[in-house]
Structure 1
């Protein structure tokens, strides 16, 4: 359902054209190169491409390099994020068979080569790739509000929060904002507002002015738990302690996993816990 909604939300001609071209894709040892500024919707476009492949075996490079020679499957997909200083020569070996290889980068491979960040061999090989460019939000403002509404739904489902909506002044403020980190920054801003505001309709103050960016974790928890105490005051045996601990822990794991694109090793490092501990917790909360 999420992908279907995502495909319908774009209003800008350039993104509509990109989505139409994805619908016409064919896969047979195809190489894709998806690029755009930091924070643009590269991961969502990646999901759309993967949705066209039946049960893909995704091998992330370099994380899963040890697996690439072991998997024998017609639906192998190599995923290479930020190809700088990564050996990807095996992708272009004519004797190797795979469904597709997908490169994701903040820059065009032409610029990467000019800046000495990839080899000439990789540059030459990428000349024959299918390129998808995602422009920054400042160049397609007609996509900002639909994206914001999509993210609000995603956030509410992910964090199990009531669905929020944007007031007229919030929409105007969002359209005027520069969004230097594009959709990523927009989503982070909305997530913060959803968590901190108690009302259903978000205002521009909720997004940009009411809460100090330096709000400490202690103050944040006091604010939210204080509200919970009011709600639970007249309920006996509410088990508030366990409820708060589990909900905070679950939300923290969801955010860490989303931030690292599902990479449990990186998420565990961010959280400062053992990877096996994280895996057990994710299973406990039915997150994997």
Structure 2
């Protein structure tokens, strides 16, 4: 799904103002600090920013900070997470050319500095950044249903399944739910429901009932493989093996990456595979 579709998704005034501010930015050695509670849509806002920049050459920090590239310096965009123990003085070097540096955190840099998580030099440099605060879902309930529909479309495209819909009952239920982990948790519940439910219209039971917090990898695999076997039971030369492997693998990786909030290292540990292997698979299935 295109990041620019977020403009049509968000209904709350605070999120519309954020997108409008970002659309007006001139990206030239621009420092942006995005923060908000765990699970807020920080990664989607990063994608929105990248969509404003022509042909960005993205370097993810700290993973790719030492990677040799042939990028033109003026086209580089640094996407920076887990920056507490890394020297980022190069970003603030006046002789350094780049398009944009995007810091992402669950906490305000003021709080990080007060708690001793970042040094004074980084705090001082971040004072000149564009600070973008993503409010929690509980403060903008008008965004919940549009976001849910946005995620349902994204899930259907990732897993190559028909888009599920929310029943009126389900819509009422998700509006009342606290969503402690915000949009990440909302997407996680929707992904589970889409995978597990056979019917098209999702109910509150699909979201919060028997599947909630009880969906193990084992149960998921049994159900997914069982459904595929039923579909191909009477079809000869159906290439069942490859179909099962690809369908299960893609859904499994999608589920794992959503369970960990996009943390590939944690997802790889859950799956028991190498992080590089997971990264290749995620790219192969267009999940990142």
Match of 1:149 in 2: 149
Instruction: State the secondary structure of the residue aligned to 1:67.
Output: coil
Structure-2 separation of matches of 1:179 and 1:52 = 30
Which 4+ stretches in 1 moved above 2 angstroms? Answer: 67-73, 210-242, 250-263, 265-288
Shift of 1:79: 1.5
Shift of 1:66: 1.5
Verify: 1:240 aligned to 2:233, yes or no: no
| Unaligned residue ranges in structure 1 (runs of 5+) | none
Shift of 1:174: 0.2
- CA shift in 2, pair 1:185/1:278, >3 Å: closer
Give per-residue Cα distances to partners, 1:1-22, cap 9 Å, x unaligned.
5223222111111001111111
1:171-182 alignment, distance < 5 Å:
171-182=171-182
- CA shift in 2, pair 1:40/1:88, >3 Å: same
Shift of 1:89: 1.0
Aligned partners of 2:137 and 2:143 also within 8 Å:
yes
Aligned partners of 2:192 and 2:255 also within 8 Å:
no
Shift of 1:282: 5.8
Structure-2 separation of matches of 1:100 and 1:93 = 13
Structure-1 separation of matches of 2:95 and 2:262 = 30
1:207-246 alignment, distance < 5 Å:
207-211=207-211, 213-246=213-246
- CA shift in 2, pair 1:275/1:129, >3 Å: closer
Q: TM-score, normalising length from structure 1? A: 0.89
Match of 1:113 in 2: 113
- CA shift in 2, pair 1:151/1:105, >3 Å: same
Aligned residues: 287
| Unaligned residue ranges in structure 2 (runs of 5+) | none
Aligned partners of 1:61 and 1:80 also within 8 Å:
yes
Shift of 1:86: 1.7
Instruction: State the secondary structure of the residue aligned to 1:34.
Output: strand
Moved more, 253-262 or 180-189: 253-262
Shift of 1:191: 0.2
Instruction: State the secondary structure of the residue aligned to 1:162.
Output: coil
1:99-138 alignment, distance < 5 Å:
99-138=99-138
Verify: 1:66 aligned to 2:66, yes or no: yes
Shift of 1:217: 3.1
Aligned partners of 1:77 and 1:99 also within 8 Å:
yes
Moved more, 78-87 or 42-51: 78-87
Shift of 1:181: 0.4
Structure-1 separation of matches of 2:247 and 2:67 = 35
Q: TM-score, normalising length from structure 2? A: 0.89
Match of 2:22 in 1: 22
Give per-residue Cα distances to partners, 1:12-49, cap 9 Å, x unaligned.
11001111111101011110000100000000100111
Verify: 1:38 aligned to 2:42, yes or no: no
Structure-2 separation of matches of 1:230 and 1:126 = 57
- CA shift in 2, pair 1:51/1:273, >3 Å: same
Structure-2 separation of matches of 1:61 and 1:75 = 16
Structure-1 separation of matches of 2:29 and 2:284 = 38
CA RMSD of aligned residues (A): 2.5
Give per-residue Cα distances to partners, 1:193-224, cap 9 Å, x unaligned.
00000000000000001325324433333333
Structure-1 separation of matches of 2:158 and 2:282 = 14
Aligned partners of 2:57 and 2:77 also within 8 Å:
yes
Aligned partners of 2:59 and 2:76 also within 8 Å:
yes
- CA shift in 2, pair 1:220/1:275, >3 Å: closer
